[in-house]
Structure formats: structure tokens, C-alpha cells
A and B are shown apart, each in its own frame.
Chain A
Amino acid sequence: MDNKTIVGTIAKKMGRESRDINALIEGLAQVLKERCGELDSVAIPGFGTFEPVKEDEKIVPDLVTHKRIMMPPAITLNFKPSTLLRKRINENDR
């Protein structure tokens, strides 16, 4: 499902224009950027949790040159689905 469909669906449900929904999605993205950038997690009940995870630096071999590469540490944004969402997905799989 692409962005346009999602926006259209939400706009229809809320009875608002797509432009407003786009602005709200942009606002949500901004909040996620700010909070997750500060290493805060964002928990949505029934959906899941966005949590920034720090990965330590690591040494990996370069497959082409066979030299060792020191990969820098990084913070990645992970999403952990809630149990409810997992259950729904599993039920639908069956």
C-alpha cells in the first residue's frame, strides 16, 4: 500500500482533505525525528514501539579487497510490533 492510498483512506475516514492528512503525517514524522533523535522511544498502543538502538562500532571484512573495515557506531530506528499486531498478522496468515 503506497502513501497516496494511505492518505486517501485516512482522509476518507476522518472526513478531511488529503492535504491536511499529509500535513499531519509530516508533523508525525517531525515528532519522531525530534524524539527518536534524543534517543526516546515512541510507543503506540496496539501498534508497536519505535525505538532508537545504538549499534557499536564493528570490524567487518571487505569482500572485494579482503581488508578489514572499521564500521562506525550508529543509531538506527527500530520498530517493534505490539503483540496485538503480531497476532493479527499471524491470524490472517492462517
Chain B
Amino acid sequence: MNHTITLPELVKLLSVATNSSEATAQQFLAEFFNTVSDALADGKNVRIKNIGTFALDGLKPGEIRFLPDSDLAEAVNHPFAFFEPVELDDDLTEEELAAADAKPAPVQESETEEVAGPKTETSASTDAAAVDTSDEAALPSEVEEHLLPEGDEDSETAQEQAEVIEVEKAEPSKAIDEPSHDDNNDSRPSSAQKKGLNPWLMFAAGLLAGVVVGYLLPAIKDGVSSLWMAAPYEFVEPNQPLLPAQDESTIPDIDKLEESRDSLDHSSANDTARQSAAATAVKPLESRPSSVTDTIGRNRFLTTMSRKYYGRYEFWVYIYEENASHLGDPDRIAPGTVVNIPPAGKYDINPDDPQSLRKAAIKAEEIYAPYQK
């Protein structure tokens, strides 16, 4: 580990690996590296099978970029071959990461010894001693966690040996606490599971909310629209007096109106009351109070009222006609203007009748005619 192999050592290793003499290996290495050096000095990139590519760095003169062959790179990286890039949760803060890093630090030494154990059972103590001084101790504890399950009984014996060594070294044993190590190992997957569950829970909650909204929204919409559409037909109790221009004594009594529905030959002193009574008798839709008032607002126009009271916006013309004396330009009615809403029967308003709609359109043209000049 972290030992520098010199050329004589390399010659020996190569002669063993290729079953050739050391002289051949030495000659080969000399020729090989001379050839590669010459090619690089000539400004050429060199690609060697099973070893990799030596490329001149165009940005830094004299620098060489070495791209190892994939097999060689994998062989070198084999201690970390288990790991894959992991996508982090958005809610994972830097503090939590730092805390996760800090936690396993005290048990590193014992763990590295555990890793070293299974490789050479007989020389576990020497390995462990070597590991202490090496950079291997800096390896993250996850490596050991991955390696530990592979180790069987041998790893346990090695672990015991490592513990004995630690005792011999008389190091403070606070950090190397085996039960706490197990606790760490046990708690880590559960926290990972917890973190893994969060997105699923959030997804499920979102789905549930979507379903609820999906069911409720049409129902609410239907309810609102039905109220909206039903308004002209089921408008029952106006809280404003009918025909405010008239004297209260002239307003027909509700009871009388009810009677008038039963008998069409109802005779009243007031002509207006008679008219409205007749209208209610003819059309069940207009059986209720025949005229109400409404106020023009910033977002409330004649068309809005027409839609509300008659079901179609086209019949605004009749509201206008009813109040033509004080309205003027239909597009410039001041907010706050109070208008009388005539009963539908007065102008034969029927939203289902195309003829009625056509009449309203003609009427609209007539109304606009003086203002378009």
C-alpha cells in the first residue's frame, strides 16, 4: 500500500507475470518507454492496448493527460466499485450531510482493520498495523459497510483480533465502541428508508389532493352554474320593493297575485298589477314578482343582469328599454345607476326561442344606431 514500485521491482514483477527472463523484461521496458517518450516528444498521442492513452495537453505545454484503459481503471477503482451516484433529497441540508460525515469518523480505525482482516487471516495483526499508518484509514466508512457483509466468520475473527490490537495499543476506547457501531449500522438504513419514504408520501398526498379536487371542482362548478342559470327562473324573494316608482298602495299584494294565478279574471284597481298578474298566470316561470331593481357596477353590466335574470345576455336590450329614460349610451352607463328589471313576459323574453333572440338582436341594433353616428 502506497509503496512506490521502482524499475528493478517492475522488471521482476514483469518477468514473473510473463514467464520471461529479467533481461528480456528489462529490455522490453526500456524500449517500450523510450518509444512512447519519443512519440510524445514528437507531439504525437500514444494509445496502448490494455494500458491507456497518453495525450499531450494542448493547454498546458509539457503536460500529459493519461486516460487509463477501462479495465485498468476498474481494477484500480475496485474498492469503490460498489458505489453509484446518488440523487440527494432537496430537503437534505448541508448540516445533515456534515453530521452524517462526522458520525462514523470515530469507528474508522476499527473498521479499516476489519477490512484488512479477511484478506490475510494469518497476518491480520501486521496488516492492521500497516493500515493505521496508511491513508486507507481515510476511506469512508461506507466502503467497510459494503465489504462487511462479504466477510463471514473470518471477518469476525479478524474483528476480534483488531480489538485485541486496539487494547494492546492502549488507545482510548471511547470512540471504538462496538455496540454503538452496530447501532450506527442499524440506524442508518432506517434513516435512509425514512428519507426514501418522504417523496412517496408527498406523492401520495398530492395524488389524493388531486383526486379530491378533481371530484369536488366539477360539483362546485355545477352548483354555482346551476344557481347562476336558475336565477332568472327561480328568483323568488326580491328584497327590494316592486315597481319603486309607484305608490305602495298600488303594489299588488302577494296573496292577490296567488289568487290571480288561480283565476285569470282577477280585476284589480291598478293596471300594472293586473298586467303582472296576467303574466304570472301565463308563464309559470314568471309566477313570482315581475319586476326588480338592480344596480350597475364596475363588473356588473346590463348583459350580466340579463344573463342572471333571463338566462341569456342578449336580452339586455329590454332592461335598457325599460330604463332608457335615464341611461343614455348603453356602453357608458355610470356605475351605481339603479335599473329596473322588467318581467320576462313584458317583452316576450324566452331564452329558448330563437325568434326572441333575433328580436333582441334587432332591438340592440336599434339602440346602438343613434350612438354609432
A36 touches B75 (CB 8 A): yes
B41 CB contacts on chain A under 8 angstroms: 85, 88-89, 91-92
Distance between B216 CB and nearest chain A CB, rounded to angstroms: 33
Query: Which residues 10-56 in A have Cβ within 8 Å of B in the complex?
Result: 10, 13-14, 21-50, 52, 54, 56
Pick the residue among A26, A31, A39, A49 that contacts B2 (CB under 8 A).
A39
Flag the segment in B25-33, B168-176, B298-306, B345-353 that touches A: B25-33
B interface, over-half SS: mixed
Interface string of B1-26 (1 = CB under 8 A from A): 11111110010011001101000110
B356 at the interface (CB under 8 A from A): no
Interface string of B60-75 (1 = CB under 8 A from A): 0111101011011101
A85 touches B37 (CB 8 A): yes
Query: Which residues 37-94 in A have Cβ within 8 Å of B in the complex?
Result: 37-50, 52, 54, 56-57, 59, 62, 65, 67-79, 81, 85-93
A24 touches B18 (CB 8 A): yes
B51 at the interface (CB under 8 A from A): yes
B1 touches A39 (CB 8 A): yes
User: Closest chain B residue to A28 by CB distance?
Assistant: B14
> Given A32-B51, A77-B66, are A72 and B83 also a contact pair (CB < 8 Å)?
yes
B7 touches A81 (CB 8 A): no
Distance between B72 CB and nearest chain A CB, rounded to angstroms: 6
B5 touches A6 (CB 8 A): no
Chain B, interface size: which category? 35 or more
User: Closest chain B residue to A91 by CB distance?
Assistant: B41
Chain A, interface size: which category? 35 or more
Distance between B31 CB and nearest chain A CB, rounded to angstroms: 5
A26, A41, A47, A71, most chain B CB atoms within 10 A: A47
> Given A35-B5, A44-B33, A88-B41, are A93 and B46 also a contact pair (CB < 8 Å)?
no
Distance between B95 CB and nearest chain A CB, rounded to angstroms: 14
> Given A13-B31, A42-B5, A93-B61, are A74 and B77 also a contact pair (CB < 8 Å)?
yes
Instruction: State A52–B4 Cα separation when bound (angstroms).
Output: 11
B43 CB contacts on chain A under 8 angstroms: 89, 92-93
Instruction: State A32–B4 Cα separation when bound (angstroms).
Output: 12
22 A-B pairs, CB-CB below 8 angstroms? A3-B49, A6-B32, A6-B36, A9-B35, A10-B32, A10-B35, A13-B35, A27-B18, A28-B32, A33-B71, A40-B3, A40-B4, A47-B36, A54-B139, A68-B90, A69-B88, A75-B80, A77-B66, A77-B68, A77-B76, A89-B56, A90-B62
What are the nearest 7 A-B pairs in CB distance?
A: A72-B83, A79-B66, A27-B18, A29-B50, A86-B62, A33-B75, A88-B41
